A and B are shown apart, each in its own frame.
Chain A
Amino acid sequence: MTPQQLAQASNGAIYASMITLAIAMVFFAASFAVGRRRAVPVTAAVVTESAGGTAVLTRTDPPNAGDPGRRSANIGMSLTWLGMIFLAAGVALRGVWAGRVPWGDMYEFSITAALGILVVFLLVSLRQDIRWLGLFIVIPVLLTLGMAVTVLYTESAQLVPALKSYWLLIHVTAAIISSGAFTLAAAVSAVALFRGRAERKADGGPVTGLAARFPDQLRLQTMANRIIAFTFPLWTFAIIAGAIWAENAWGRYWGWDPKETWAFITWVIFACYLHARSTVGWRGNRASWIAIIGFSAFLVNYFVINVFAASLHSYSGL
């Protein structure tokens, strides 16, 4: 393929991915809308004590497996897989076109980060039923991609010499996976807050309406916690790799450059989250808010700092 064709193929794959994900979004949304009025029993694990003292576990999932909402969510999941494949192709083709790893500017970083979010979500979905999360994943991915193709698009540029380092590969890979996982954690935390409010309103009774479509709050909080417990070391590693790279490129491992500062702020906020999870009175809604704040700090670093701050890390291509 000529470079021209490669470029077109990459862009085409990304547009195809966006269309697929947009349709997935409709199906995910529909999964909430259809059968919405049907009340679902409180979804806590019920332990029945049998005569022999053996505890028997009943399923924690709402018993509505065959309903149209489920089917719609399943279609949404399939489309998300397809969208991910298109996006992966788009990212890979961009890399082939540029003749290097595809994260040299903000456009490339955005499409790769969007891919990261989808991959983390889909990998987790292989182990756990998180179809209810689909809408909250597809929306940020679509926003990221939309932003990428409209505002951030640049013709493929050569890496400036500071970015030619294998630490770039390591640092950015870790950061991209972290970005996907932080997005997931923030989405789950937001849903946990929403579900928690409904649970309090229901006051022990069955949760109705939209909130009934989600797992119970405790489970959501545990899930967010697990995701963050996985991501925090990875983010720590990304920062260390970044510091090693900075030491190699600029002669200091830490210089409070705006980008570094916000990576640090994000790190500290997630450390707050982990502390909150073991502090009386902070484990519940407050921890969920901290997760959302931490994710916001991550976003600030990516959008605000990349574009507006005079940073050594100015590779935005804008």
Chain B
Amino acid sequence: MTHIDPHSDDRLGAGLSTNPETGVVPPLSATGWLRWLWRQLTSMRTALLLLFLLALAAVPGSVFPQQGVNPIKVSTWVAAHPGIGPFMQRMGVFDVYASPWFASVYLLLFISLIGCVVPRMRLHWRAATSAPPAAPRNLSRMQNFTSLESQEEPQKVLDTAKARLKGARWKVIDGTDASGSWISAEKGYLRETGNLIFHLSLILILVAVAVGGLFGWKGNVIVKTGNGFSDTLTQYDVWGGGRFVNPAHLPPFSFTLADFQVQFDRAVSDRGSPQLFRATVNYRTDPRAPLQTSIVQVNEPLSVDGAKVYLVGHGYAPHFIIKDAHGHQIYNDAVVTLPQDGNFTSTGVIKLPDASPQLGFDVVFYPTWIPTSITSAFPAPDNPAVYLDVWRGDTGMNSGVPQSVYTLDKSHMVLLGRHPSLIPGQTWTLPKGAGTITFAGWQRWASFQIAYDPGKNIALAAAVIALLGLMSSLFVRRRRIWVKALAGPQGTTVEVAGLNRVEGADMAADVEYVVHHLSPDAPGTDVTKRNS
């Protein structure tokens, strides 16, 4: 992209990235070989290749389910492909962005980047602190060239040009050669500076991601309205933290979900699409702190104690009262059901391992039940009803094997009976004298993601710096201007030439700027341009 002037001495990046030597056969000595290898790695062609590989390596993560995003889908996929599945799992196909091969691509790329940027920093420092090169002998060969006559003394002309260029923040030197006095000016160092800053801040982004990964944590929790949560590991449904996080020392905040409002669109065209989710939480930053109230909505998380609480989902929790054969109450709680479709047909289970015999229920909650259908017709609770299956036998809860709270292991249970549509307030007398179940009502639950990422501000700052560097790298033009003044019989002949080192860019405007200040009344100067 750099347009290199064959007369120039400080070829930008010469001997580095685009060095033709890199293709040369390696010398035989060990250090020579190492040096050759290093050159290969830091060559522009390798950077290109690694960037390509990076793009390619990212693809499978969007094709196959990913452990970090949806672990259930991963196990389903592996189970459905017993031949290739486990092998792919070992190869990291379901955890691409944490896999060794993905890491090796980006780590190589960043090593190459450092190897590339550090020498360029040195070169650029030298270029930026040293004087621009002397004016070439023949200015008319330059990309843009014009000449004019002036009645001023040559030195006066050059002084004016120099002052003007300095005023416009050009770096200017002057000198004399056989053909006369000249000044040489250069500008646009910010191009390379920006480029270097851009590449360096990419490293900073990587560091920020690493900080987040090592010191950050993230968990998910479902909270029913009226219930509370306190930030300890045991309260989370899912929790994951970096290597340097001590789960015993999470920030000690707590909150209760005081209220949760949901509205769905009732217009015919977008029936059922969500319009509003709004959670009202009462929270304390630590057990002794005063109680505060805040609203949590999508796009409006609550910041507390360095962590952020995001509203990520919601659903219904039907409330049941269960009594055993003797009329003793053995259960009185709201059970969280997970929505299965856009109309919130939701499923959940109740397990009663302490009942004798043990009981289990499959629960389907329909917010808007329609007798003729087995799914809900609308996501709002217009006509709530539950479908129930009751099972008897061994829930497996006492076997020590961990179970999901949303599935019932029926391998050692028998179906006692089912009820297609219990409505609030109704009681169903279970078959075989197993007791009764009352559908007492329902409440809502909200799910929260609680995250702490100490790297994210660094990442944001690095990204903004990268963007600024990138813009200056792509928009600033590194360019040179020369002015020569020769005393002649009719006055002074002034030559102005410009060279732009950016491909396709033109110097006419800069040359015109100088000409304009040297002879403001010059009739429409005609700056010529060579096709470079």
User: How far apart are B201's CB and chain A's nearest CB, in angstroms?
Assistant: 11
User: How far apart are B289's CB and chain A's nearest CB, in angstroms?
Assistant: 23
Chain B residues 462-496 with CB under 8 Å of chain A are 463-464, 466-467, 470-471, 474-475
Answer whether A256 and B69 are a contact pair too, CB < 8 Å, given A162-B299, A233-B470, A265-B55. Answer: yes
- Mark contacts of A255-287 with chain B using CB atoms, 8 A cut-off: 1 yes-contact digit, 0 otherwise: 111100110110011011011111111100000
A33 contacts the other chain (CB 8 A): no
User: How far apart are B22's CB and chain A's nearest CB, in angstroms?
Assistant: 10
Answer whether A275 and B51 are a contact pair too, CB < 8 Å, given A47-B531, A161-B274, A256-B97. Answer: yes
A21 to B243, CA, bound (A): 58
B298 contacts the other chain (CB 8 A): yes
Chain B residues 186-201 with CB under 8 Å of chain A are none
User: How far apart are B265's CB and chain A's nearest CB, in angstroms?
Assistant: 5
- Mark contacts of B75-107 with chain A using CB atoms, 8 A cut-off: 1 yes-contact digit, 0 otherwise: 000000000000000000000110000000000
A249 contacts the other chain (CB 8 A): yes
Determine which of A53, A161, A223, A257 lies in contact with B69 in the assembled complex, contact meaning CB atoms within 8 Å: A257
For A251, the chain B residues whose CB sits under 8 A away are 218, 301, 308, 310, 312, 449-451
User: How far apart are A234's CB and chain B's nearest CB, in angstroms?
Assistant: 10
Which residue of chain A lies nearest to B1 when distances are taken between CB atoms in the complex?
A: A278
For B474, the chain A residues whose CB sits under 8 A away are 229-230, 232-233, 274
Answer whether A253 and B456 are a contact pair too, CB < 8 Å, given A225-B504, A268-B55, A275-B51. Answer: yes
A262 to B470, CA, bound (A): 21
A125 to B518, CA, bound (A): 35
Chain B residues 282-313 with CB under 8 Å of chain A are 297-301, 308, 310, 312
For B138, the chain A residues whose CB sits under 8 A away are 53
* A240, A257, A279, A281 — most chain B CB neighbours (10 Å): A279
Which residue of chain A lies nearest to B312 when distances are taken between CB atoms in the complex?
A: A250
B42-50, B124-132, B153-161, B437-445 - interface stretch: B42-50
User: How far apart are A237's CB and chain B's nearest CB, in angstroms?
Assistant: 6
- Mark contacts of A120-160 with chain B using CB atoms, 8 A cut-off: 1 yes-contact digit, 0 otherwise: 00000000000000000000000000000000000111101
**Complex contact A54–B298 (CB within 8 A):** no
B528 contacts the other chain (CB 8 A): yes
| Interface range, A side | 35 or more
A64 contacts the other chain (CB 8 A): no
B145 contacts the other chain (CB 8 A): yes
Determine which of B45, B265, B274, B450 lies in contact with A279 in the assembled complex, contact meaning CB atoms within 8 Å: B45
A50 to B141, CA, bound (A): 12
**Complex contact A262–B273 (CB within 8 A):** no
**Complex contact A243–B58 (CB within 8 A):** no
A164 contacts the other chain (CB 8 A): yes
A280 to B48, CA, bound (A): 11
A165 to B300, CA, bound (A): 9
For A158, the chain B residues whose CB sits under 8 A away are 265, 270, 273, 275
User: How far apart are B96's CB and chain A's nearest CB, in angstroms?
Assistant: 8
B276 contacts the other chain (CB 8 A): yes
Which residue of chain A lies nearest to B455 when distances are taken between CB atoms in the complex?
A: A253
* A157, A268, A282, A309 — most chain B CB neighbours (10 Å): A268
User: How far apart are B35's CB and chain A's nearest CB, in angstroms?
Assistant: 20
For B70, the chain A residues whose CB sits under 8 A away are 310
For A309, the chain B residues whose CB sits under 8 A away are 62
User: How far apart are B106's CB and chain A's nearest CB, in angstroms?
Assistant: 10
User: How far apart are A169's CB and chain B's nearest CB, in angstroms?
Assistant: 12
**Complex contact B62–A278 (CB within 8 A):** no
For B215, the chain A residues whose CB sits under 8 A away are none
For A269, the chain B residues whose CB sits under 8 A away are 51-52, 55
Answer whether A157 and B269 are a contact pair too, CB < 8 Å, given A272-B52, A278-B44. Answer: yes
A60 to B70, CA, bound (A): 57
For B140, the chain A residues whose CB sits under 8 A away are 53-55
A57 contacts the other chain (CB 8 A): yes
A247 contacts the other chain (CB 8 A): yes
Answer whether A278 and B18 are a contact pair too, CB < 8 Å, given A250-B310, A256-B68. Answer: yes
User: How far apart are A314's CB and chain B's nearest CB, in angstroms?
Assistant: 11
Other A-B pairs, 13, CB within 8 Å; known A47-B531, A155-B270, A261-B61? A54-B147, A223-B504, A225-B504, A232-B470, A237-B467, A240-B463, A240-B467, A248-B300, A258-B62, A275-B44, A275-B47, A276-B48, A278-B44
Could you list which residues of chain A lie within 8 angstroms of chain B, going by C-beta atoms?
44-45, 47, 52-57, 60, 155-158, 160-162, 164-165, 222-223, 225-226, 229-230, 232-233, 236-237, 240, 243-245, 247-258, 261-262, 264-265, 268-269, 271-272, 274-282, 297, 305, 309-310
Could you list which residues of chain B lie within 8 angstroms of chain A, going by C-beta atoms?
1-2, 17-18, 20, 44-45, 47-48, 51-52, 54-55, 58-59, 61-62, 66, 68-70, 96-97, 138, 140, 145, 147, 209, 218, 265, 269-270, 273-277, 297-301, 308, 310, 312, 449-451, 453, 456, 459-460, 463-464, 466-467, 470-471, 474-475, 503-504, 528-531
A sample of 7 cross-chain residue pairs with beta-carbon separation below 8 angstroms, ordered by A number, consists of: A155-B270, A164-B299, A229-B474, A233-B467, A247-B456, A274-B474, A310-B70
Closest 9 CB pairs of A and B: A45-B531, A222-B504, A155-B269, A258-B62, A251-B310, A161-B298, A53-B140, A157-B270, A268-B55
